[in-house]
Amino acid sequence: MLDNRVVLVTGAGRGIGRGIAQAVVAKGAAVIITDIAENSAKETEALIREEYNTEKTLALAMDITQEDGIEKVIAAGVEKFGRVDGLVNNAAVMVDSGPLLDSDLQKRTKEIDVNINGIFNCSKAFVEQVIKQNAPAAIVNVASHGGVRAHVFMGHYSSTKAAVLNLTQCQSAEWAQYGVNVNAVCPGGVHTEMLQAAAEAKSAGNDKRSATELRETWVPAQLGRNMEAIEVGYVVAFLLSEEAVLVRGQSVSVAGGIEHEAVQDYLG
């Protein structure tokens, strides 16, 4: 599916980003693993090299709020692999949770800078490189189920993810002329550290349910379990591939059907 492709994944040191990096390698791509914490990126690289018996990896520290650093990482990827033709904008933070009336400007600004401006920065640098290469490419932005539906006590984070959905449509419309296909995925309750942090944040504002109890309500009934990061990665891999040429500017739910009532809700 992704043979001879080179994919850059941001925030790949853990969680969904790590699962995406694993999935694109499993589908044949070389991967540039980036994270603000270099040691985390290196850990993902070591895991992938051992699991998939490959050396088609490059692990680098990258702060997506710093344009110069992004350009250097892309240049390093091009130097090693000859080009970069896939970008997954996964890196994000959730630092301002709780009631909207208790919002902290500094924390809220941090979320906007990383979750929205970070995608602007990485995408711009990537497309500039793609134009030089004059070859088809793809971008997948990682949004969230929280960007589609309101999540109490996560309004600050969720609003940034809602912005990602509109940005995806704008990128798709503007960059098709350069051969760049842009889509987004909206994960639901993926088994990650961020999911636990979200549960703890909402639990702090709801004394009726613990974080553990809240997490149980986020298990998709149709699936019967939390999703794994690599499963999100497989959907991302498809959207990066030429097989997804007809899917453009879309926000693809990868929430295990949590948006819909399960049949068993009507039984018994």
CA 127 to CA 177: how far, in whole Å? 11
* Confidence category of residue 267, pLDDT binned at 50, 70, 90: very low
* Confidence category of residue 213, pLDDT binned at 50, 70, 90: low
**Whose structure tokens read 């902290």?**
104
Instruction: Please report the pLDDT score of residue 220 as a whole number.
Output: 77
**Whose structure tokens read 């007809």?**
246
What CATH number does domain 6-256 carry, 3.40.50.720, 1.10.150.20, 2.40.50.140, 1.10.3720.10?
A: 3.40.50.720
Q: What are phi and psi of 211, to 5 degrees?
A: -60, -40
Cβ-contact 89, 17 below 8 angstroms: no
Instruction: Please report the pLDDT score of residue 261 as a whole number.
Output: 47
266, pLDDT greater than 60:
no
Measuring CA to CA, how many Å separate 140 from each of 49, 102, 232?
Answer: 23, 33, 12
Nearest to 91, CA basis, from 37, 130, 138, 162: 37
Nearest to 5, CA basis, from 133, 166, 137: 137
End-to-end CA distance of the chain: 43
pTM over 0.85: yes
Instruction: Please report the pLDDT score of residue 256 as a whole number.
Output: 87
- What is the mean pLDDT of the segment spanning 61-79? 98
- What is the mean pLDDT of the segment spanning 232-255? 97
Q: In one letter, which amino acid is 58? A: L
Instruction: Please report the pLDDT score of residue 178 as a whole number.
Output: 98
pLDDT tens for each residue of 238-249: 999 999 999 999
Segments making up each domain of the chain, as ranges? 6-256
- What is the mean pLDDT of the segment spanning 213-224? 71
Instruction: Please report the pLDDT score of residue 20 as a whole number.
Output: 98
Instruction: Please report the pLDDT score of residue 264 as a whole number.
Output: 47
pLDDT tens for each residue of 159-205: 999 999 999 999 999 999 999 999 999 998 786 665 555 655 655 65
